[in-house]
């Protein structure tokens, strides 16, 4: 059974505009058709005929999208820094802002044999991207979730990247065997930083599907992970080593202060492509 891809696209958009604006609905529909049939946008708009051997599977995908499930979880794939990554509800979906964090590290360490640790690796998007972009680097990636680490290992293999994976809770790093005795030249992290108070402002496709362990921090202690990371960096960064952290746009000054209070110097805050303070750097 063959069907017009434009017909499938129009069906998807018609159903998705009930919960997304028109542009986002179209983008989601294009991503679904690209994943399922390998079609470019031009091919979809031209109405290229495609086989549809499993109409029930197509209908199920649309139903999942109508339930606010992210298209990346429906297709099982996301793209980050020009690379494909498998994703599932055990890991966050990579964001464009985090690509900018990777680019900052790449720009400052290209061609250098640095030892890099990605803390809270999730899908492995940061660690794998750095390993590919910085072939002279030795990259390690840490996470507390065995499921996330399995996904990250699969993504390293998918992209032909060499990454050492470590299972540990960064909040208890001082007693974690996985990081005992290790030191690094670069620490990079996109830790949990969304406060619980912000949850009602977020969309259902995030709050209902993405892992809360990787998203939220208590309202009473929004800088919890930054204090821990700053202490870790003070002890485990080599002299002159640097940390690069993604941050909550509400707390750029306080986050920078946490790094300085831990003894890190040369702190900088960078804004993201939306003009929001999103990344901070500190040097040991």
pLDDT digits (tens, 9 = 90+) for 188-244: 999 999 999 999 999 999 999 999 989 999 999 999 999 999 999 999 999 999 999
CA-based nearest residue to 128, from 73, 190, 85, 184: 85
For residue 283, the SS3 value is strand
Residue 149 corresponds to which tokens in the numbers above? 């680490």
Please give the Cα distance from 107 to 109 (Å, whole number).
6
Residue 138 corresponds to which tokens in the numbers above? 């030795």
- 2 band by pLDDT with thresholds 50, 70 and 90: confident
Report yes or no: 166 and 141 within 8 Å, Cβ to Cβ: yes
Report yes or no: 139 and 119 within 8 Å, Cβ to Cβ: no
Q: Which helix (H) or strand (E) holds 132?
A: helix 125-133
Residue 110 confidence (pLDDT): 97
- 249 band by pLDDT with thresholds 50, 70 and 90: very high
For residue 165, the SS3 value is strand
CA-based nearest residue to 116, from 139, 100, 133: 139
Residue 256 corresponds to which tokens in the numbers above? 């920078």
Residue matched to tokens 């690379």? 83
pLDDT above 90 covers what percent of the chain?
96
Residue 54 confidence (pLDDT): 87
Query: In this structure, what is the dihedral angle of CA atoms 9, 14, 15, 18, given to the nearest 10 degrees?
Result: 140
- Tell me what the mean pLDDT of segment 145-167 comes to: 98
Residue 156 scores a pLDDT above 90: yes
Residue 8 scores a pLDDT above 80: yes
SS3 content of the chain, % helix, strand, coil (to 5): 45, 20, 30
What letter does residue 22 receive in the DSSP assignment? Answer: H
- Tell me what the mean pLDDT of segment 130-141 comes to: 98
- 53 band by pLDDT with thresholds 50, 70 and 90: confident
Please give the Cα distance from 113 to 107 (Å, whole number).
14
Residue 1 scores a pLDDT above 80: no
CA 72, 97, 21, 2 dihedral sign is negative
Q: Is the pTM of this model over 0.85?
A: yes
């Amino acid at each position: 059974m063959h069907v017009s891809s434009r017909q499938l696209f129009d069906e998807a958009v018609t159903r998705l505009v009930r919960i997304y604006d028109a542009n986002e609905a179209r983008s989601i529909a294009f991503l679904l058709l690209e994943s399922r049939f390998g079609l470019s946008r031009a091919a979809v708009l031209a109405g290229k005929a495609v086989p549809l051997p499993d109409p029930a599977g197509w209908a199920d995908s649309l139903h999942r999208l109508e339930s606010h499930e992210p298209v990346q979880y429906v297709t099982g794939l996301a793209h980050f820094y020009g690379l494909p990554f498998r994703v599932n509800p055990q890991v966050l979906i990579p964001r464009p802002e985090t690509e900018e964090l990777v680019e900052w590290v790449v720009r400052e360490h290209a061609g250098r044999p640095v030892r890099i640790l990605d803390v809270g690796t999730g899908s492995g998007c940061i660690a794998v991207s750095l390993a590919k972009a910085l072939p002279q680097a030795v990259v390690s990636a840490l996470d507390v979730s065995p499921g996330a680490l399995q996904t990250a290992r699969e993504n390293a293999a998918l992209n032909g990247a060499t990454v050492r994976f470590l299972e540990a809770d960064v909040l208890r790093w001082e007693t974690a065997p996985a990081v005992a005795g290790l030191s690094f030249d670069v620490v990079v992290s996109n830790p949990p930083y969304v406060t619980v108070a912000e949850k009602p402002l977020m969309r259902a496709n995030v709050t209902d599907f993405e892992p809360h362990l990787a998203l939220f921090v208590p309202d009473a202690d929004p800088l919890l992970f930054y204090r821990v990371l700053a202490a870790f960096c003070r002890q485990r960064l080599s002299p002159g080593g640097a940390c690069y952290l993604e941050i909550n746009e509400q707390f750029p000054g306080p986050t920078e202060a946490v790094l300085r209070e831990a003894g890190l110097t040369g702190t900088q805050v960078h804004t993201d492509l939306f003009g929001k303070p999103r990344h901070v750097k500190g040097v040991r």
